[in-house]
Chain A
Amino acid sequence: MTDILDLLSNVSFWIAVLRIATPLILGTLGVLLCERAGVLNLGIEGIMVAGAFAGWLAVYAGAPLWMGVCVAALTGAAFGLLHAWLTVGLALSQHVSGLGITMLATALSYYGYRVSFPKVSTPPTITPFAPMDWLPIPVLDAQTSLTLLALVLVPVISYLLYRTPVGLAVRMVGENPQAAEGQGVSVAWVRTGAIVAGSALMGVAGSFLTLSAFNAFFFNMVNGRGWICVALVVFAAWRPGKALLGALLFAFFDALQLRLQQAGDAALPYQVYLMLPYVLSILALVLVARKAAYPQALMKPYRKGER
């Protein structure tokens, strides 16, 4: 027990928590935007791969780091547009379309990588974002500016959703598209906009892995982080503030298991520790999200004039 207390009082532990949480915060906000507008976006895993690849490639080709982030966002937005066309325009199954996007975006990224680098033995590297040493806030000063962006986006998106007409429109089309249409809100446009914006955030989430957490692109490096975000949105009951909390909680358990696993007196097989963040997140989900009010029109395609 004292070991764990020691651990928690260690500042580098909290630095790790925030660093692990960053892509999850960005990704969860992205999923949240889509789902608030009533569209499930299972394309996230693939969009994160595409964002990680495109952002990194841009920087490798000589673009500044922030331009790389923009490229990642645009790549994400492009796949979002495709998802919107399939799920809003054609009103197809959101599950199938999302999984299709994941496979397409993943495969295209790998293909693009191999075409660009047919003969490398180790992946080429870039110079990633540097920590914000100038910031006089402990823990945050060891993070890169992408983490700051993620943290700032939480209140911004919260404000957008709950305090602006645009946010109201997004929430309306996710709750009751018929009523929204009756008020003169174009369900198709609002949903499309939300999906595109959300997918852009997913792209940025992916780019964090290649532009900040690491300096090269690897196949399979997103490694399920996208799926975690989909679950975290449920945990967060579709609220940005709770999404931040959920991402931090998951990262907390992940950072903790890495340290517990390494202790010499670890009594359990290492797999149990690796499982810890997932198991505890499911537990939290059960306890916290049981009463969560999900967007009423989630996963229901809206066809104009249909009852």
Chain B
Amino acid sequence: MNKRRQLLIHTTAIAALATLAMPGLTFAQAKLKVAAIYTVPFEQQWVSRIHKALKAAEARGDIEYKATENVANADYERVMREYVAGGNQLIVGEAFAVEAAARKVAKDSPKVSFLMGSSGKPQAPNFSVFDNYIQEPAYLSGMIAGGMTKSNKIGMVGGFPIPEVNRLMHAFMAGAKETNPKVEFTVSFINSWFDPPKAKEATFAMIDKGADVLYAERFGVSDAAKEKGKLAIGNVINTQDKYPDTVVASALWNMEPSIDEALKLVKTGKFVAADYGKFSTMKFKGSELAPLGTFSTKVPAEIVKKVAAKEADILSGKFTVKVDDTTPKSTAK
């Protein structure tokens, strides 16, 4: 090897090292690069909450945000690796159906932080998990539902019986039972996240059997309730503005506390594998019972009082809502 070529290699190596080191130097000033990968469209209730929190951080000027929606599970790992290669510092997403692949990517990219929706445990050093632990407001919304039903029959339509859906349904049922021990439930799943016509059919079937309050886990349930003049309880998002005479109350999920915590830690270089579940609880403002709005005068005062007392108990730690991830079953005959 001649001298000239050696020199060339050395300078290139130095230049390469310099460029590699550069982002580290300018790190503090630059915006954090965050990417999100969703398996469903932005409009899906669950994902919309994550997207909203990240959009808010982007609007504040904290982060540079990129997102891909509707990624098939088979493509998930590829998209993850592309975002890692693109220099993103925090990857947010949902690992539920791709646990093994997502965790492998995290292992292969120790410099990148991951905050993934998952029913599993965090994986050291850089794979944190979150989930919609909003069983507390779900319980409160159940208390209201129990107070609103006249037929003592509540219908619940879900997509799939996964823990994220089941625990909210169980909390809702427990809440309804507290204010109305006579209440009965019908449960059905439509095996799709996005088939509003089918969710409507399932709801119509429940209304035929006497249900007058419907738990709207999916799009389409509130529409069926509205058409038939029945009531609905919202979940994860608040849709009362679209159904002012139908949606009584909603259990809201706020992803902001989780996202802000992760951003803070990544920025200061202190991000470690942790379970972010608690940031979705009411205490951390990660969830709340939506304001009753159009129904504030229609819900019996006695129920409103009970709900407020229960909310105080939850916040003070006096009452804990049980997390039950088993598949809920109909209790109505």
Contact = CB atoms under 8 A, between A and B. Distances in A.
Contacts of A85: none
Contact of B187 (A13, A218, A262): A262
- Interface centre among A120, A213, A216, by most chain B C-beta atoms within 10 angstroms, is A213
B43 interface: yes
B196 interface: yes
A258 B201 contact: yes
Contact of A218 (B155, B196, B208, B333): B196
- Interface centre among A122, A209, A266, A274, by most chain B C-beta atoms within 10 angstroms, is A122
A123 interface: yes
Interface residues of A, number: 36
Contacts, number: 106
Interface stretch (B108-116, B284-292, B324-332): B324-332
A219 B44 CA distance: 10
Interface string A235-265: 0000000000000000000110011011111
A20 B198 CA distance: 8
A116 interface: no
A300 to B, nearest CB: 34
Nearest to B45: A122
Contact of B223 (A214, A219, A259): A214
Given A123-B43, A125-B242, A219-B41, A262 B329 contact: no
A2 interface: no
B212 to A, nearest CB: 15
A102 to B, nearest CB: 15
A255 B205 contact: yes
Q: For chain B, what secondary structure do more than half of its interface residues adopt (helix, strand, loop), or is it mixed?
A: loop
A38 B62 CA distance: 60
A218 B200 contact: no
A114 B223 CA distance: 23
Contacts of B333: 263-265
Contacts of A215: 223
B219 interface: yes
Nearest to A125: B242
Contacts of A259: 205, 208-209
Interface in B60-117: 69-70
21 contacts: A12-B204, A16-B205, A20-B201, A121-B52, A122-B237, A122-B242, A213-B196, A214-B197, A218-B194, A218-B196, A219-B194, A258-B201, A259-B205, A262-B155, A262-B186, A263-B186, A263-B330, A264-B330, A264-B332, A270-B161, A270-B188
Interface of B: 40-43, 48, 52, 69-70, 155, 161, 184, 186-198, 200-202, 204-206, 208-209, 219-220, 223, 237, 239, 242, 327, 329-333
Interface of A: 10, 12-13, 16, 19-20, 110, 114, 120-123, 125, 209, 213-216, 218-221, 223, 254-255, 258-259, 261-266, 270-271, 274
